[in-house]
Amino acid sequence: MAGVKGQVQKRGVERRRAMVDAAIELFARQGVRGTGVAAIAERAGATPSALIHHFGSKDALVQAVLEEADRRALARLSITPDAEPGLDQAFDWFIRDAEHTAATERELAALHTTLTAENLEPGSALHIWFRDRGRALRAHLVSLFRRAAADGSARTDLDPAVLAAETAAFLEGAHLLWLLDPEQVDLTAVHRSYFEGLACRLRP
C-alpha cells in the first residue's frame, strides 16, 4: 500500500507541475486576464475541475507560477535557502540573473511587474504575497550588509535597512525601465553598473 500511495502522490506532483508549466506558457503569451482556467487545463492535458482541485482557484495558480519563477531563479543561480554569500557573490548573482532575464525571461518579468502593480492595495488577491516577498528580499539584503560590515568588507556607518530598501528599489525600477524600453535600456549593463558602484560605495 505504501508503494501505491507513493506512486499516487508522485503522479499528483507531476500533474501539478504540468499545470504550472502550462500556466507559465499561456500567461506569458496571453497575460493572466486573457487566459482562462479551461485553456490552462487543456494545455496541461487535464480538466478544469482537476486544476481547481490542485490549486483551489486561479489566483492560487497565479501565486504558484510566481513561486515557481522564484524557485527556478534560485536553482539557476545555485542558491540554497540557507546560503550566506559575501557581497561580491551576491552582486554577481543579481547581474547573472539580469542577464538570464534579458535573454529568455521577458514574459515572466513582465508578468511579475504587472501583477505587482495590480496588487498594491491591501485586500487584493496577491497583495500579501508580494508584500511578504518584498520583506523577505529586504531581510536577506539587510543580513548581507550586516555580515559585510561585521567581517570588515563593508563600511559600518551605513544603515543596512536603508541600503536594502535602496537595492530592492533599484531591482524593481531597472526591470520596469527595461520592460518599457528594451531597445534603449540594457538590463545587464545597468545592473553591472549599479552593483559595481554600490561595491565601491560600501568599501571601507
**How far is it, in rounded angstroms, from Cα 179 to Cα 163?**
24
The single-letter DSSP state of residue 156 is: S
* 38-64 pLDDT, tens digit each: 999 999 999 999 999 999 999 899 999
pLDDT at residue 201 tops 70: yes
The pLDDT value recorded for residue 202 is: 97
Quote the CATH superfamily of domain 80-204. Answer: Tetracycline Repressor, domain 2 (1.10.357.10)
pLDDT of residue 140: 93
Domains 1-76 and 80-204 share a fold: yes
- Which cell numbers in the block locate residue 25? 506558457
pLDDT tens for each residue of 62-87 = 999 999 888 888 887 776 666 678 89
Stronger pLDDT, 90 or 74, i.e. the higher one: 90
Section 129-133 average pLDDT? 94
Nearest one of 109, 98, 102 to 66, comparing CA atoms: 109
Contact criterion met (CB below 8 Å) for 68 and 130: no
pLDDT band at 1 (very low <50, low <70, confident <90, very high): low
**What CATH number matches the domain at 1-76, 3.30.1330.20, 2.60.130.10, 1.10.357.10, 3.40.50.150?**
1.10.357.10
CB-based contact 203:155 (threshold 8 Å): yes
Number of other CB atoms surrounding residue 132 within 10 Å: 10
Residue pLDDT, tens place only, 112-130:
888 898 899 999 889 999 9
pTM value is 0.82
At 98, the pLDDT band (50, 70, 90 cuts) reads: very high
15, burial (CB in 10 Å: exposed 0-12, middle 13-18, buried 19+): middle
CB neighbour class for 44 (10 Å; exposed up to 12, middle 13-18, buried from 19): buried
Q: Where are the domains of the chain?
A: 1-76, 80-204
